Amino acid sequence: MTKGIVMLGAGGHAKVCIELLQAMGETVAYCIAGADAPSRCLNVPVLAGDEQLARLRDEGYARAFVAIGANKLRGRLGANALQLGYELVNAISPRAVVSPSARLGKGIAIMAGAVVNADAVIGDLTIINTGATVDHDCDIGAAAHIAPQCALAGNVSVGTGSFLGVGSKVIPGIRIGKGSTVGAGGVVIRDIADGTTAVGVPAKPITK
Ligand code: JB3
């Protein structure tokens, strides 16, 4: 009997990812959270402290999923799980539309209503959130977060660890650097450099 998935995180994002995995027919055995851990997350028991990850690995658990919205922390915890010998699974809603030619990394979340179109590339540990659309030939880096209802036209690239806030729109061919943020509702019509926050319609840099 294959042991269930070990999930890192026990907050709102974890609730959504538990339901994604259960809809895929998977079992989430435990959530591992920080010091503020609740006793359960939906119907899953919660353990406190990341040292539990190694203990569970020793007990034979081999598959993990990082369900934490903070990009840097998700990236770090994902690397830690891989180092311990876990395989990172993907959580993809049966109600998402993912092109057969799209190339998906590991530890990815694709929520209900999301669309990932032809030849798009989605990096490890990235979130394509509820109803977001990533069109043909987009290249989304690792540990990025495309928030709900974002719309990326064709050939858009988003760097590692970047965050596109809810409802952001990006015109074709735009390059958004790594570690950058687009504020909610931003309309991106020019490239955004690494480590930059841009807001508004059209989106303009407010910090570098
Ligand atoms: O915007 C949407 C639709 N979802 C957001 C999501 C993408 O990000 C959501 O609204 C939140 O903004 C955020 O969800 P998340 O990450 O679940 O946030 P929160 O509810 O604050 O839960 C954070 C979880 O991470 C808690 O269970 C913490 O205990 C846990 N945590 C924090 N640090 C940690 C650590 N867990 C582990 N294992 N290790 C840590 O170092």
Amino acid residing at 178 = K
Distance of CA 111 to the CA centre of its chain: 9
Fold for the domain defined by 5-89:
Rossmann fold (3.40.50)
Question: What pLDDT shows up at residue 1?
Answer: 65
Average pLDDT over residues 153-175: 98
Query: Is residue 145 annotated as part of the catalytic site, yes or no?
Result: no
Would the CB of 13 count as within 6 Å of ligand 1?
Answer: yes
Cα(188) to ligand 1 centroid in Å equals 27
> Contacts from 136-140 at CB under 8 Å and sequence distance 24+?
136/99
Question: What pLDDT shows up at residue 89?
Answer: 98
**Residue extents of the structural domains in the chain:** 5-89, 90-197
Cα(135) to ligand 1 centroid in Å equals 27
Whether the predicted pLDDT of 67 surpasses 90? yes
Would the CB of 49 count as within 6 Å of ligand 1?
Answer: no
Exactly one of 136, 185, 200, 205 is catalytic; name it: 136
- Containing H/E element for 80? helix 71-83
Cα(11) to ligand 1 centroid in Å equals 5
Which CATH number applies to 90-197? 2.160.10.10
**What are the tens digits of pLDDT across the range 1-37?**
678 999 999 999 999 999 999 999 999 999 999 988 8
